[in-house]
Amino acid sequence: MMPDNILIILGGGCAGLSLAMRLASGVLPYKKVIILERRETYHNDRTWCFWKVDGTHLTDLVRHHWPAFKISSGNLGNTVDCSPTPYQMIKSLDFYDCAIETIRQSTDIELHLGQDIKHIYQDPKGAWVIETDRGSHFGSVVIDTRPEKLEDTKPVLWQSFFGQEVSCSAKIFDDCIPDLMRFLPGFDDGVAFSYILPFSETEGLLETTVFGPQRLTIEDLKARQNDLVRIITKGNPFEVVRSEYGALPMGHFKTNGLNLSTYFKVGNTSGSLRPSTGFAFQRIQKWAEACSKSIRNGTGPLHYAPDPWHIRMMDYLFLRVIREAPSLASTLFYAIFKKVRPDRVIRFLSDLGTWRDCVAIIFALPSMPFFRLLWKNLNVPHKGSPS
């Protein structure tokens, strides 16, 4: 088939599949949509969590939800009631299965697995040529959802995490309330905390997370993770059901990718991640919904809509303070959840924050670290600052 009016989606991860699901539900302005994914099969390799707020997508895939969560640092602990907007979890394999089944029902969309992309270029007639280890594909429009190579990104901070889903022979989760942040002392590589999601009294996800200037590997996190599992399981026999690892770039920086009318970069450095938290799933769903509508209306694909300037600035300053004074991190996060109404914090973290929500969060934080940072950086341009 000639490449006229063919859309190629590079990457069949969360973003690529989310867009394809929307495109599969109606008439397409393209002759065909082709999704190229490197992996051969899909596994339960991720856990996506978010609060159920106005406009939350794919809630029918939610596997677990909680009416409250905890934030703790040393002897300080705070349980936050979020029952009006419960914290929810989707297992990646449930999402993959749903997306693949939806795509399978469309005669206009093809998902090609095991496609390792080797080279991308535009021929003299303007058609895009995607060369893979299993042959070439040709298209008129390309949406590139692949994450940037980690070594090519320079964020303000990295969020590195290593988690294990465990099943224990004893009841190890008494209250079944998630620990979103249980801060850990004495970590030289950045701000460390445990992230604990109980699925039942005997099962849950235990995860060690570090916000730091360097990207950490599983080996870097393994000792802390082993300590966490040992503490939670309390010496009782347990089984590791599965593991997950990731390193997310956090912060504002510019992408050096192509910016053409027929080539759209929408990976992890192009707006899918909330800079200050790493939350991505619902942002991706909102983009997929808007992008699919734009395609159907005949105006073509969309990039991620930028966050409002004041949100970008707040996120950037927050990350810079944590980078320069990591010992303050637990104080800052604890202050936000302790002093600000839960609905305000949840809206802010869910990209729905109002000006009043932002002001409440600003006044809940100690001002001196931010004034010091602003003074230090006054009139000094920074590579990667918000734009």
Is residue 62 a part of any domain in this protein?
no
Structural domains of the chain, count? 3
Report pLDDT for 1.
44
Residues 139 and 276 in one domain: yes
Query: Which of 267, 296, 325 is the last residue in one of the domains?
Result: 296
Instruction: Say which residue the tokens 């996120």 belong to.
Output: 315
Indicate whether 261 and 344 sit together in one domain: no
**Domain stop point among 296, 325, 359:** 296
Q: Render pLDDT for 206-264 as a digit per residue (tens, 0 to 9).
A: 999 999 999 999 999 999 999 999 999 999 999 999 999 999 999 855 544 455 789 99
Query: Does residue 265 share a domain with residue 237?
Result: no
Q: Is 50 helix (H, G, I), strand (E, B) or coil?
A: strand
Instruction: Let me know if residue 103 belongs to a domain.
Output: yes
Boundary residue ending a domain (241, 263, 296): 296
In a domain? residue 199 = yes
- Specify the CATH number for the domain of residue 202: 3.30.9.10
Residues 38 and 163 reside in one and the same domain: no
260 in the same domain as 122: yes
pLDDT, tens digit, 9 for 90 and up, residues 153-204: 889 999 999 999 999 999 999 889 999 999 987 667 789 999 999 999 999 9
How high is the pLDDT of residue 109? 97
Residue 303 is assigned to a structural domain of this protein = no
Instruction: Provide the 10 A C-beta neighbour count for residue 383.
Output: 7
Give domain status of residue 123, yes or no.
yes
- 239 in the same domain as 259: no
For residue 147, the 8-state DSSP code is P
Q: What is the pLDDT of residue 149?
A: 81
CA angle 209, 257, 10 (to 5 degrees): 75
Determine, yes or no, domain membership for 29: yes
> Does residue 329 form part of some domain?
yes
The predicted structure's pLDDT at residue 254: 53
One domain for residues 163 and 129: no
Q: Is residue 369 part of a domain?
A: yes
Range of the domain at 175: 157-250
**What is residue 2's predicted lDDT score, i.e. its pLDDT?**
46
Does one domain contain both 242 and 279?
no
Same domain assignment for residues 290 and 342: no
* DSSP count for the chain of H helices, then E strands: 9, 18
Closest Cα partner for 282 from 85, 9, 84?
A: 85
CA angle (370, 373, 376) in 5-degree steps: 150
pLDDT of residue 377: 67
Return the sign of the alpha-carbon dihedral for residues 18, 21, 22, 24. positive
pLDDT of residue 258: 54
What are 324's two structure tokens? Answer: 């320069």
One domain, residues 191 and 98: no
| Residues 272, 344 share a domain | no
Strands 141-144 and 6-10, bridge-based pairing: parallel
Output the tens digit of pLDDT for each of the chain's 387 residues. 446 799 999 999 999 999 999 999 888 899 999 999 999 999 999 999 999 999 999 999 999 999 999 999 888 889 999 999 999 999 999 999 999 999 999 999 999 999 999 999 999 999 999 999 999 999 999 999 998 887 778 899 999 999 999 999 999 998 899 999 999 876 677 899 999 999 999 999 999 999 999 999 999 999 999 999 999 999 999 999 999 999 999 985 554 445 578 999 998 878 899 988 889 999 999 999 999 999 999 999 999 999 999 999 999 899 999 998 898 899 999 999 999 999 999 999 999 999 999 999 999 999 888 888 877 766 444 545 555
Decide: 44 and 242 in contact? Cβ < 8 Å.
yes
The CA distance from 352 to 341, in Å, is 15
**CATH code (residue 35):** 3.50.50.60
Q: Are 244 and 320 part of one and the same domain?
A: no
